[in-house]
Amino acid sequence: MIKKKISKILVPIDGSKNSIRGLEIAINIAKQCGASITVAFSIYAPPHSEFKGVGSVEKSFNKQLKKIINDAKALTTKNGVAFKERIMRGDIGYNIVKFAQGREKFDMIVIGSRGRSSTKEIFFGSVSNYVVHASKIPVLIVK
């Protein structure tokens, strides 16, 4: 008998094909379990940005962000799954893990992999690699 029910799934997205595939898998899991999905978009914000004050860059980015979130919402609600969104600024991997294990108490994280080769991953690391190692809740990585 299964003791742990999946009722809340966190899906970090960045608009890439792999993050959308992760969302699709999360939707399938959510439909089977009656779970809700929270889509998280974390913006890497260095302490001092050289783009600070450049309005056209920020407006363009905000337009792209809205499109990514709206597309995710449309796909999720079209499939009859409850949808929430969260936008965070700072270190991406850290934000995802902190949010997942915080007040919301998610049961699972479904995250897309960037598909880097193992050699590149050793040198550059990746958000999904960080999340899988730092998270105390189950993480499903989708390629």
Tokens representing 131 are: 């999340």
Q: How confident is the model at residue 76 (pLDDT cuts 50, 70, 90)?
A: very high
Which is the CATH superfamily of the domain at 8-142? HUPs (3.40.50.620)
CA atoms within 13 A on the CB side of 129: 12
pLDDT in tens, 107-136: 999 999 875 445 445 444 589 999 999 999
Q: How far apart are CA 136 and CA 66, in angstroms?
A: 30
Residue holding tokens 């499109």?
Answer: 67
3-state secondary structure string across 12-57: ECCCCHHHHHHHHHHHHHHHHHCCEEEEEEEECCCCCCCCCCCHHH
- pTM of this prediction? 0.85
